[in-house]
Structure 1
């Protein structure tokens, strides 16, 4: 019912946004300052921490689902208490580009929603109720999981699904079913999380996943790139730290190796590169037979993310809106995201292709140029520029010209054939390629088939992708659209929105499409998030409205993002009508 109410209210919100929109004010560009990494944790201290955690693993395993839920709900308030201060720390390290600390504050969104949703799942004894479960014609189960309850009022027009592996039932919470029967296995040891260096929410949700799904106490080694977030994460998870179930350490490769090889560590989860996975699992030896590392190593390892733009009867407003979605998918976090837009896949004969690309250029050119803060990303930028010498340089400099030498333009190489594009290297910086698929004649059905084949067989990785399609095209080519969504071999597919949303909505699964092996790890081998605790997920699909109103929080030019983010985070931690009503006025000012 709340979904229907939200959809019915969209015209009212559109009118409110028209009246109030732009009333907020974007701030100044703040360039990053050097932040020194923490001193590495000594081996003796790591040894002490591991022994202390090991002494608590039986206690953790003995906690009931309800007792775990109480701890997670306590973490919601301790997390909300650090958001603004942590956002300022992130702003100092990464810079901010007109929206103050809001982008770094937003990074806590999946952490807070994830804590609440895991708690709700535990309160439901591991089997929270989805909106519904349908069956596809081939029998595959698909669970409608988002939005649920009051969150429907902030996400009108959205629908998020978890697709279950073919041949499997949509069972949930296997650990907690076993626990209720008195059959839960003993914890095998300590779970090690090797934190990602780009986004704090990656490490935070990996920690909670290891606790709740893998039933392990956790040591998290922060990445030196963003280990300034370590003290904030520790404070956020203080209820778990105080009970001895979670701890944080610092360091680089040497400390990571010590932890990976420690006998008290039973499993490892990393977010990073395939090279790091291979170093841990294969340890420089040939990829034959059993890997030298016998521990389970879960990994999420990036992707050359395609945004498939389907031809259709778009208006000028449509072109502008979806060009901004794509630009947001590129510019967020300076492009240092495993889900950042890398390929714009278009129909070479679409009559509006030039108009769409012109709109995309305008959006990228209006977006502030950013400092590439992530180590070695500047080298990838130079390699791209050397390969594509005609790439356009776009992006806005601060009015006073400050930062011209420190920031990088957004590079756009348009008009590439599938054979000419670089589809095998994740660039991890502010570069974007348009790949124009020939031979479709502007026909959406033909293009969908060819674009899906290109994405599946040519672009490296299977983590996430986006598909942008007009509602009329969806209706006229319903079978082709359904087949495209079903055939895309990606762990998360976002329709009519940026892939950022697939990560941020924690009820969805996040991870590579199943099928990778230790010998060829690709984008990884596991799912995290999945706060509905499905036992056998295949992928997630998020359907966003063709146009979200009011101005979406991911828009490149939102004018009131800091205040909106603060209100939205409070709501996601404590959903109530009062907190909805507090967020709506801030959203209308965007």
Structure 2
């Protein structure tokens, strides 16, 4: 490395001090500058991320593919990877910067966000077991859709609401707390060491952006070794933050990372990874340790550690279109990124007596079996696949998705004992003779699974009033940072304005899915959890469905639209240019 650790940290300390003196308008301008750079680097970022996943670039031509900025899909075996990498890398990061800039502009004008106009008081839960009651009232702040980003078109019928504790009890008390948070939290200062994940190229940049704009910290970003080819590209994509002395991006060995952890100038640590990485970092080993054991890490840490992600299917009558769309959404949430996501669906929970169960599972199975096996690019994914499935992996290095139906958790507990970073998922059934009985069992089952990051629920539109009330109570009582109705919880992460992290209450001894949150550009105080909702049938078809014939073109089109918005345009022309690809993918 050209720069020593000491010189990097001194530069970041100086940049952080300058950043502490920036008012909200200047911070908003900095975020918008970074958004424009992301847009300019989107194609190179995507190309490199695809190459990391061991897919051939040999079929690309200088004039016919993403490298030329034309938005053409490369004609090779895994076109869905291009759509995934464009969407989860530059697109998601660009959107995060846009919502961050917009929030800072509103803070400058109003001392808080205009989302106060969409703030609702919610009473504390008054029924159910005492352990499930909130100790204080909450407020609900609607943060999605963002009309300036055309969410009402791209995400028709979707919504996202953030629940925050409100011990003051009144709307005025919460707004006062929010205004105070919007001033104080971005001025925390210091230098954060961000230890990036290797499964998605956009995670580490997003973690850094949140530290810089939500906490006012400069960031030393250590990328996962898999992402070493992205150092130069990400440094260019986030050049305004690098030039401001707020960001340095490196790839280094474990010894260097340990030196950074021990450096006095590092004041905070943020990790996105697994339980083993957290234990090694905090406790010095992967053993659980004793409750009275002292951590070896003496600095404050926030983290996101993944989840055994459940999807609950509430029994009832669904139309054919609803059943197909929901089955496709579940299948896509399993297959996306070779199931190497912290929120890839790993267990589907159904009612054994549900009359449409066989049809629903057959649709999921057909979708997954229709996908070609994909490269086992992530370290350990082959060994995990073999351990979980008790099969030998194919010698060609391509792993098919394994979907087990009617799993017996007692006979094969390994399926649900940990988050498996490999393309596999299972379905379990519960015996219930009513919706009320099913949702009660489903909630208890999910709460016994490792993790509290995110969960999804599919529920019918019709049915008795009492059944609808049961579903509403289920959404309220699931102890997850994000609860998604009729959609994959990953949307909450992609939107950027929905706080992302485990359910409150995690500790160093029991971190569950992590401590703290990211993606809170609105600087909301006392975040408890978020609930996102979608229709049972969505249109346009989501481009992240791996079988979408125009997924890459649509992801590229959204990047172009966001780029136009970052450059001062309304983005309408870019939106209209996507219509042919929307219709071809319908």
- Report the TM-score, using the length of structure 2 for normalisation: 0.86
- Look up the SS of the partner of 2:530 in the other structure: strand
State the number of aligned residues.
528
- Look up the SS of the partner of 2:216 in the other structure: coil
Question: 1:210 & 1:137 partners in 2: Cα distance?
Answer: 32
Q: Does 1:309 align with 2:306?
A: no
For 1:103, which of 84, 105, 115 is the aligned residue? 84
Give the equivalent residue in structure 2 for 1:358. 362
Query: Larger deviation: 512-521 or 562-571?
Result: 562-571
Structure 2, unaligned runs of 5 or more: 56-76, 125-136, 169-173
Give the equivalent residue in structure 1 for 2:523. 533
Q: Does 1:429 align with 2:422?
A: yes
Question: 1:274 & 1:53 partners in 2: Cα distance?
Answer: 29
Q: Does 1:161 align with 2:161?
A: yes
Structure 1 residues 173, 562: closer, same or farther in 2, change over 3 A? farther
Q: Does 1:75 align with 2:34?
A: yes
For 1:446, which of 415, 430, 437 is the aligned residue? 437
Q: What is the alpha-carbon root mean square deviation over aligned residues?
A: 2.2
After superposition, give the CA deviation of every residue in 1:425-465 in whole Å (9 maximum; x if it has no partner).
11011011111111x13x33321221111101x21100011
Query: Larger deviation: 289-298 or 405-414?
Result: 289-298
Question: 2:326 & 2:451 partners in 1: Cα distance?
Answer: 24
- Look up the SS of the partner of 1:319 in the other structure: helix
Decide whether the 8 Å contact of 2:195 with 2:271 is kept in 1. Answer: yes
1:339, distance to aligned residue in structure 2 (A) = 0.5
Question: 1:536 & 1:506 partners in 2: Cα distance?
Answer: 18
For 1:60, which of 19, 43, 59 is the aligned residue? 19
Decide whether the 8 Å contact of 2:197 with 2:203 is kept in 1. Answer: yes
- Report the TM-score, using the length of structure 1 for normalisation: 0.85
After superposition, give the CA deviation of every residue in 1:196-245 in whole Å (9 maximum; x if it has no partner).
11112211111111111221111100110222222221111101111211
For 2:484, which of 489, 494, 498 is the aligned residue? 494
After superposition, give the CA deviation of every residue in 1:530-560 in whole Å (9 maximum; x if it has no partner).
2222011111111011111122222231111
Decide whether the 8 Å contact of 1:418 with 1:435 is kept in 2. Answer: yes
Question: 1:186 & 1:480 partners in 2: Cα distance?
Answer: 42
After superposition, give the CA deviation of every residue in 1:370-400 in whole Å (9 maximum; x if it has no partner).
11211112111111112xx7x9x9xxxxxxx
Give the equivalent residue in structure 2 for 1:195. 196
For 2:544, which of 533, 554, 572 is the aligned residue? 554
Query: Larger deviation: 316-325 or 446-455?
Result: 316-325
Structure 1 residues 141, 484: closer, same or farther in 2, change over 3 A? same
Give the equivalent residue in structure 2 for 1:49. 8
1:585, distance to aligned residue in structure 2 (A) = 3.1
Question: 1:371 & 1:99 partners in 2: Cα distance?
Answer: 12
For 1:88, which of 44, 47, 57 is the aligned residue? 47
Q: More helix per residue: 1 or 2?
A: 2
- Look up the SS of the partner of 1:467 in the other structure: strand
For 1:545, which of 527, 535, 554 is the aligned residue? 535
Question: 2:517 & 2:222 partners in 1: Cα distance?
Answer: 20
Give the equivalent residue in structure 2 for 1:465. 455
Q: Does 1:244 align with 2:245?
A: yes
Decide whether the 8 Å contact of 1:154 with 1:580 is kept in 2. Answer: no
Decide whether the 8 Å contact of 1:173 with 1:535 is kept in 2. Answer: no
For 1:145, which of 139, 143, 146 is the aligned residue? 143
Give the equivalent residue in structure 2 for 1:3. none
Decide whether the 8 Å contact of 2:199 with 2:341 is kept in 1. Answer: yes
Decide whether the 8 Å contact of 1:493 with 1:502 is kept in 2. Answer: no
Structure 1, unaligned runs of 5 or more: 1-40, 394-402
Structure 1 residues 174, 206: closer, same or farther in 2, change over 3 A? farther
Decide whether the 8 Å contact of 1:134 with 1:142 is kept in 2. Answer: yes
Question: 1:529 & 1:186 partners in 2: Cα distance?
Answer: 17
1:475, distance to aligned residue in structure 2 (A) = 5.5
Decide whether the 8 Å contact of 1:474 with 1:481 is kept in 2. Answer: no
- Look up the SS of the partner of 1:346 in the other structure: strand
Question: 1:330 & 1:154 partners in 2: Cα distance?
Answer: 22
Decide whether the 8 Å contact of 1:310 with 1:448 is kept in 2. Answer: yes
